Chain A
Amino acid sequence: MTRARSRIPPILLLVLFTSACSIFPAPVSKQGKDNFAARRAKAEKLTGRDQLSAALVQWRILETIDSSDPAIAEKRRSVEAEIDRRAERHYESGKSALARGRYTEARDEFLAALTIDPSHEETIEELRAIDQRLVRRSRPKMAKAKPEAKKMTASKTAIRTKEKQIVRAGGQTIKAENSEALAQAVALTSQGAYLASIPLIEKHLSRYPEDDKAQSLLAISHREVGIALYKDGRLLEALGHLEKSRAYANGTDRKLSGILAEAKSQLAQESYDKGIRIFSKDVAQAIAFWEETLSYDPNHVKAKLNLHNAYKIQKNLESMSQ
């Protein structure tokens, strides 16, 4: 009996030891306690300052360190709920602005929603759609070339195939002068048919991309077409050609830069004036015109000022109608 009793304690002690290891709370050092208190103070401060996204991160870290404190869990939940509420409010404001064609305002609202809740999927989708629109608006428009120039005849295809075979077989360099497309393009430009020459030069360049002469010729053709369109008052189309010309020009062309700047400035002024004319009848439409002004000339001070005021007026009108 005595022997049996003396055997029990070590087993019991082992069980107690292992279970206690997992049950007992962490002994927190003074440094650890200080860190915890500092982090908690930081979380409270961020919450108080409305920096909810950053505050939530701190509450989540505190919860990781001490999951047994119900006050921390409660704080975390309340911040999460507030984040949801505010992100949703900004998202709805953004949608409303979007419906009225106010892209700049919509974008700002969506960004505000995402600042609060970086994982708000619907907001990300809306911002992507606006982003796509912005990219396309920033891209220079390319004018349509004459249809005749685009047709590739059977004989040209044959020449092209033959040239390719020669290149592949012997590694021999084909001189650009031998290119049928370029020869035609040169003939067209000498006759002043710059627009028709463009697709032919592009075709040539797709096979001889390093041909600097062809690049210069393309720059000239685009420039001449651009200038003609500019003189004709077709500013948007002119802008597309002039941008292309700049991309292919070897070195700086002051004349080109001057006309480009002039075309952009005129387009900006045109849309600005349109905004002024329509402002008294339709504020939303005026906003759209002034946003367009800024896309041509981001430094257009009057458009910026008017936009700022128009947004305010629009907001007041909305609150009055409600």
Chain B
Amino acid sequence: MSSGKCSPNSTERYSSWGLAMTIRRRRFELRLLMLISVLGLAWGCAPVPDGRVISRGNDFIVVVARPRDNLASLAAEFLGSKSKAWVIEDFNGIDRVTVGQEVVIPLRPVNRAGIYPNGYRKVPILTYHRFVSPGRSCTRLAVTAESFTEQLAYLRDNGFSVIGFRELAGFLEGKSQIPPKSVILTIDDGYRSAYEVAYPILKKFGYRATLFVYTDFVGAPAGLTWTQLKEMVGSGLIDIQPHSKTHADLTKRLENESEAAYKKRIAKEISSSTRDIEKHVGVSIHTFSYPYGAENDTVVEAVKAQGFKLGATVTRGGNPSFAHPFVLRRSQVYCGDNLKVLAKRLDHFEKKPLR
């Protein structure tokens, strides 16, 4: 019976065992609490690594705009350049971002062809020849300084983006997107007035232009000099590309000229002008402008064979993404063309139901 009684020793033993159990239970509860806290914290940290990126894939980044965000800052951060703000603007159909707004940033061209159910995008290319100084009257292919200034102001005020042929080549190849209202400015032949009249105006607006020069004309009384061409290229605004050597119509075969001799003559017209431009100005060659805009299969093949990416005619109209790269359309600007006429030449979207 003695076993039924609690001895002082056994009581002591039981109370120390109970204390140990209590401590263990407390420790367990504490650890459980800490574990839950850690998991809770982890759940909070996982999704938004930098606090605003909802998700990031190969094609898109989805972000929530924060107080200091704007289109340019998002473009700089996620697309590598502020100048690509239009990509975000165009894709989301917005002209600014507001705090808390979900913004999708496309990392690859989404509609590279610029074709929509209601029509397709086109890139107009304007072609000028000569310019006349302020106060002087114009002739058919010579535009006054006042008109040229007015036309560039029109581009600026109506949201046009002046791009170059490299961007156009990327668009045609489906490698890159271009701003919705893109336009290219070109000046043919290489008259001195391109330097004396047009260049200062282009600098004022910060617009780029491509000069197509026929090299026999360089150094002629009314023509540009290599020094002037080099100076313009140095500004980063002007690109120089070939327009043949003699400005002969390359589609015309001479009397008694054999096929082989004709091809050789064309090849020389292209290669000689290309070589001279590379040698004197140091630019890389990518676009050929056909004299009189005249081309045929032989001429196009010769231009392709010499490594050109694009060829420009003077057939009026804009260039969609599916334009033939060696017969690009260009619209000539004439003396007396008012802004209404210019607006027609700048048509950048062909409305056409396509479904």
B220 touches A167 (CB 8 A): yes
Residues of B within 8 A of A202 (CB): 249
Q: How close is A1's CB to chain B, nearest CB, in angstroms?
A: 13
* Cβ-defined contact, A60 with B60, below 8 A: yes
Is A171 a contact of B59 with CB atoms below 8 Å? no
A73 within 8 A of B: no
- The count of residues in chain B whose C-beta lies closer than 8 Å to any C-beta of chain A is 73
Nearest-Cβ distance from residue B274 to partner chain A, whole angstroms: 18
- How many A-B pairs have beta carbons closer than 8 Å: the answer is 175
The residue of chain A having its C-beta at the shortest distance from the C-beta of B138 within the complex is A250
Q: Is the CB of A249 within 8 A of B110?
A: no
A135 adjacent to chain B (CB < 8 Å): yes
Query: 1/0 per position for A99-130, CB-CB distance to B under 8 A?
Result: 00000000010011011001100011001110
Q: Tell me which of A24, A32, A142, A206 has the highest count of chain B C-beta atoms within 10 A of its own C-beta.
A: A206
* Given A138-B316, A209-B191: A17 touches B323 (CB 8 Å cut-off): no
- Is A48 interfacial (CB 8 A cutoff)? no
B222 with A209: CB separation less than 8 A = yes
Note all chain A residues with C-beta closer than 8 A to B352: 111
Is the CB of A189 closer than 8 A to any CB of chain B?
A: no
Cβ contact of A127, chosen from B46, B217, B322, cutoff 8 A: B322
B255 engages A150 (CB within 8 Å): yes
**Cβ 8 A contact of B54, one of A21, A65, A136, A215:** A65
Q: Is B247 an interface residue (CB 8 A)?
A: yes
For A35, list chain B residues within 8 Å (CB).
Answer: 102
Q: If A65-B55, A119-B112 touch, does A171 touch B324 (CB 8 Å cutoff)?
A: no
> What's the Cα separation between A128 and B310 when bound, in Å?
13
**How distant is the Cα of A150 from the Cα of B352 in the complex, in angstroms?**
46
A247 to B104, CA, bound (A): 49
Q: Which chain B positions have C-beta within 8 A of A13?
A: 34-35, 38
With contact pairs A13-B38, A27-B47, A114-B322 given, residues A249 and B254 touching in the complex (Cβ less than 8 Å): no
Q: Which of A16, A147, A151 is within 8 Å of B38, CB to CB?
A: A16
Contacts A24-B43, A111-B115, A119-B112; A151 near B221 (Cβ below 8 A) = no
Q: Are B62 and A118 in contact (CB under 8 A)?
A: no
Chain A contact residues (Cβ within 8 angstroms of B): what range? Answer: 35 or more
For A25, list chain B residues within 8 Å (CB).
Answer: 46-47
Residues of A within 8 A of B191 (CB): 209-210
Question: Taking the nearest CB of chain B, how far is it from the CB of A59, in angstroms?
Answer: 11
Chain B nearest CB: distance from A31 CB in Å?
Answer: 7
Whether B315 and A139, one on each chain, are in contact in the complex, defined by CB atoms closer than 8 angstroms, is: yes
Verify A20–B42 contact, CB threshold 8 A.
yes
The residues in B between 127 and 141 inclusive whose CB is less than 8 angstroms from any CB of A are 130, 139-140
Report the Cα distance A66→B44, complex, angstroms: 17
Measured between beta carbons, the chain A residues less than 8 angstroms from B189 are 209
Knowing A112-B355, A208-B222, A209-B191 are in contact, say whether A142-B47 is a contact too (CB < 8 A): no
The yes or no answer to B354 lying at the interface (CB within 8 A) is yes
Residues of chain A lying within 8 A (CB to CB) of residue B249: 142, 202
Taken residue by residue from 214 to 229, chain B's Cβ proximity to chain A (1 for < 8 Å, 0 otherwise) reads as 1011011110000000
Contacts of A9 in B (CB 8 A): 31, 34
A66-B55, A111-B120 given; name 4 further pairs at CB < 8 Å.
A27-B44, A145-B252, A206-B214, A206-B248
